[in-house]
């Protein structure tokens, strides 16, 4: 039974709480009989995971960061995401290109148009057809005030290069996400991540149900 592949990304500043919802959504799709690939960026392939380790721990400038994330993304698209979509599977990706615009663009101040060019280069189809840029079908944006996210992260595991940055950096990252969302309002669904976990999950289910991708939510959350 052939079905159309579905590509959903999860975005938000560090501490917004997206990770805990990814597995729940994977389960909800599996309960519908869908095959699910749960993956992440930076990373998702052996090569891209090596790049991830560099990105999170080695110091480098914003252009180098951008080039590494897009190199990893290209490998991830070719070897994991595109093949899964071609098989009609659901791909759930913990961060994708919006994170590059938010962190390298908003956070680091790297040129937005240059990122758009890299996006187009890295994400055009396997045969590099210019009119086939791959993007998520839906981006779930866990929106949370940076000061609240910082409180949630305080005392958690040892921070990586990004998590160690100050609230001002995350304010700029949050603005980067807001700008991306304004540029692609149909693709983005904003979730109020300040709510308690069950309410965020309910809001997330509503978004999927309205698109006809999951059954409507019942009376209990």
Residues that bind ligand TYD (CB under 6 A): 14, 19, 41-42, 56, 69, 94-95, 99-100, 103-104, 160, 162-163
Beta partners for residue 9, in sequence order:
93, 139
Residue 28 C-beta: closest distance to ligand TYD, Å: 21
Angle at 166 between CA 160 and CA 171, to 5 degrees: 110
Quick check: 120 and 36 in contact, CB under 8 A?
no
> Smaller CB distance to ligand TYD: residue 3 or 20?
20
> Smaller CB distance to ligand TYD: residue 22 or 208?
22
Secondary structure class of 79 (helix, strand, coil): helix
> Smaller CB distance to ligand TYD: residue 51 or 214?
51
Residue 56 C-beta: closest distance to ligand TYD, Å: 6
Residue 31 C-beta: closest distance to ligand TYD, Å: 25
Quick check: 109 and 61 in contact, CB under 8 A?
no
> Smaller CB distance to ligand TYD: residue 14 or 89?
14
Q: b/e for 99-111, b at 16 or more Cβ within 10 A?
A: bbbbbbbbbbebe
Residue 53 C-beta: closest distance to ligand TYD, Å: 11
């Amino acid at each position: 039974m052939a079905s159309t592949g579905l590509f959903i990304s999860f975005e938000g500043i560090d501490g917004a709480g997206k990770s805990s919802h990814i597995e729940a959504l994977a389960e909800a799709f599996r309960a519908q009989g869908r095959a699910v690939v749960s993956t992440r960026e930076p990373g998702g392939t052996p090569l891209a995971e090596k790049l991830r380790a560099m990105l999170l721990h080695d110091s480098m400038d914003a252009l180098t960061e951008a080039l590494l994330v897009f190199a990893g993304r290209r490998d991830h698209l070719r070897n994991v995401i595109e093949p899964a979509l071609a098989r009609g599977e659901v791909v759930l990706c913990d961060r994708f290109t919006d994170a590059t615009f938010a962190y390298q663009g908003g956070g680091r101040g790297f040129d937005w148009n240059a990122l758009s060019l890299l996006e187009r280069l890295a994400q055009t189809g396997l045969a590099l057809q210019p009119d086939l840029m791959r993007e998520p079908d839906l981006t779930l944006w866990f929106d949370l005030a940076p000061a609240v996210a910082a409180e949630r992260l305080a005392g958690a595991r040892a921070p990586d290069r990004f998590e160690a940055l100050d609230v001002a950096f995350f304010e700029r990252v949050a603005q980067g996400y807001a700008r991306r969302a304004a540029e692609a309002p149909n693709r983005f669904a904003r979730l109020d991540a300040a709510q308690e976990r069950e309410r965020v999950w309910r809001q997330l289910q509503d978004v999927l149900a309205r698109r006809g991708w999951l059954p409507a939510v019942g009376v209990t959350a």
